[in-house]
Amino acid sequence: MARVIGFHYTLTDKSGTTLDSSIGDEPLYFLEGAQQIIPGLEKVIALLNVGDKRKVEVKAQDAYGDINPELVVKVKKTQFPPDADLQVGDQFQVNNDAHSPVFTIMSVDTEEVTVDGNHPMAGKDLFFDVEIVGMREATEEEVTHGHAHGAHGQGHH
Ligand SMILES: [Zn+2]
């Protein structure tokens, strides 16, 4: 039977800079085995109990993968809408599919724009501080949907 597990986390990189945190916000609930969180983190959390706190180091390969140089591409400026305001650091999706990669603008030249389709956390080893705050059986609906519906299985989405 699949479980839904809730946890608080603080994510830092190698230098100790906080990249993301759930502290002061709702904990994150995920459906076990549904690839809702990165595999290297789920593997450890699946073995913990409510109340457990753990530091978890996840290598890039078990997190968002290594940087793929082929996803850094130069695009002719003419391929963007003529009125597009192209700024370094801007992010965009090529289409509206939620799973299509997000591209980040790396540089803007006179004729070309360099974009990077790697996940912003690709190539990074990640350091999580986690605390397990909830654990229950998944509802049938959650299993059907392939994701958790919050703390009580009645979350909206
Ligand atoms: Zn759902």
CA of 149 to the centre of ligand 1 (A): 6
Q: Can you give the pLDDT at residue 156?
A: 65
Does 69-116 match 3-64+122-145 at the fold level? no
Alpha-carbon gap, residue 125 to 122, rounded angstroms: 9
Whether 62 and 38 have beta carbons less than 8 Å apart is answered as: yes
Residues with CB under 5 A from ligand 1 (ion): 145
CA of 155 to the centre of ligand 1 (A): 8
Q: Can you give the pLDDT at residue 29?
A: 96
CATH code, 69-116: 2.40.10.330
Whole-prediction pTM: 0.77
Where exactly are the structural domains of the chain? 3-64+122-145, 69-116
Nearest to 31 by CA among 58, 60, 64, 1: 1
CA of 65 to the centre of ligand 1 (A): 27
Task: Tell me the sheet residues that pair with 105.
Answer: 115
Mean pLDDT in order along the chain per 10 residues (157 residues): 95 95 96 95 97 97 93 93 91 77 91 93 95 97 94 79
Q: Can you give the pLDDT at residue 123?
A: 94
Could you tell me the fold of the domain covering 3-64+122-145? Chitinase A; domain 3 (3.10.50)
For 28, 71, 129, the CA distances from 59, given in Å and listed in that order, are 21, 20, 15
